Amino acid sequence: MSTLRTPPQQTSQTACHIQQDEVLELNVPEQAWQVRSGTIALCRVVDGIRHCFFTAHAGEVIFGVASQENGLVAIAIEPTVITAIQ
């Protein structure tokens, strides 16, 4: 499982392809992403353990959060395409 440490931040709406089981850290509060295709799970990380609480599907939008002790990540459940929006 790989981690995308630097989330895609395009000013134009360029698609980012995320492979199954890839992890996207959502630690940029000013950034939002629209899921164009596929499904991702949103998980809170506490003491290195992921606690998944939500899934986002095509057409839905996810938002970044300020970095904290407990992070927020998105994990691709299947190959997924997202677009950075501002």
**Is residue 45 over pLDDT 90?**
no
Rg of the chain in Å (alpha carbons): 12
**Which CATH class, in words, describes the domain spanning 3-85?**
mainly beta
How do the domains of the chain map onto residue ranges?
3-85
pTM: 0.76
Confidence of residue 30 (pLDDT cuts 50, 70, 90): confident
Structure confidence at residue 14 as a pLDDT band (50, 70, 90)? confident
Across residues 50-76, what is the average pLDDT?
88
- Cβ(4)–Cβ(31) under 8 Å? no
Residues 42 and 2: their CA atoms lie apart, in Å, by: 16
Average pLDDT over residues 62-81: 86
How many CB atoms neighbour CB 50 within 10 A? 15
